[in-house]
Amino acid sequence: MNEFELIARLTKSLPTNETVVTGAGDDCAVLDLGVPEKLILFKTDAVVEGIHFTAETPPEKIGRKALARCLSDIAAMAGTPTAALVTIALPEKFDAEFIAKIYDGLNALAEKTGVAIVGGETTTNPERILISIALLGTVPRGKQILRSGAKVGDAIFVTGELGGSLAEKHLEFEPRLAEARWLAEHFSVHALMDLSDGLGGDLRHILAASKVGAEILKSAVPVSRAAKLRAKENSAAKPAFVAALTDGEDFELLFTVASKDAVKLLDAWRKKFPKLKLSCIGKIIAGEGILIRDKTSSHKFNAHGYVHFA
């Protein structure tokens, strides 16, 4: 049983109440707690030594990544983060200075993004460090963007470049908070999420939630220099294009808009965010799954991104 099969089993009969606008199955839960003009976003995420970082990773970068992952999910709902709780689980023989530096990295990103760290929990965990963040945010009422709104004919966009994230990007990425809020304010974005497990896997979440398929133009996918370099230097490595769709931890935005808005959006984006690439990589189609199209043919793309327990 892989990660997504387990999630499906555990979430099929979760209790709910009148505060839940959107429960399990999207980037954040959306709650109505009676705050005027705002809904509450609620997110949790964890990083584990040996999975998301190594014992040699600089501690400040560990702390930064732990919070940044949650911030990226707030961005995926076009929200604004507000406050976080931090749970840290440590081996019995831990280095207090190392742990303090983890918090230095976490706190620096929290201050930069306006997040208050309001408490948490410490506990013991044999052999390795685990950090879990619970993050609250807000979004204007009716402005939350879900995975389920993609429509046939929509243009598909991604920010930045994809693949090769292990060449430091997974520790240093910038959650696209400002970019997502700008998109929500200026365009009718139909579906939105962040890329944590790879385009090939995460796009399928939008397709499943929206009950549609996708056609991706191979030449339009923005493959990172790191992915190209790794493929060039190591014959056993994934082809660069496959790495761009499956490596994971890119933490870029993936979204769809009506095709009639695509050119206008690209022009406005270049003026607003001239240093961040935006690429139209394909379109939403009827059916299911992902088709990859090149100059002469198209084929089903069956590979997925990173999946725990697979």
With b meaning 16 or more CB within 10 Å and e meaning fewer, what string describes 76-97?
A: bbbbbbbebebbbbbeeeeeee
3-state SS, residue 251: coil
C-alpha 257/C-alpha 299 separation (Å) is 24
Average pLDDT for consecutive 10-residue bins of the chain (310 residues)? 81 92 95 97 97 96 98 98 98 95 98 98 95 98 95 98 92 97 97 95 96 97 95 88 94 98 98 98 97 90 71
**Domain boundaries, given as residue ranges, for the chain:** 3-140, 155-300
Q: For residues 94 and 122, is the Cβ–Cβ distance under 8 A?
A: no
3-state SS, residue 19: coil
Fold designation for 155-300:
Phosphoribosyl-aminoimidazole Synthetase; Chain A, domain 2 (3.90.650)
Q: For residues 266 and 183, is the Cβ–Cβ distance under 8 A?
A: no
CATH label, 3-140, candidates 2.40.100.10, 3.30.1330.10, 3.40.50.300, 2.30.30.30: 3.30.1330.10
Question: What integer pLDDT is reported at residue 310 of this predicted model?
Answer: 57
C-alpha 221/C-alpha 156 separation (Å) is 11
Q: Length of the chain in residues, anyone?
A: 310
143 C-beta neighbours (distance < 10 Å), count:
16
Question: What integer pLDDT is reported at residue 11 of this predicted model?
Answer: 85
C-alpha 253/C-alpha 158 separation (Å) is 6
Question: What integer pLDDT is reported at residue 309 of this predicted model?
Answer: 62
**84 beta partners:** 117, 135
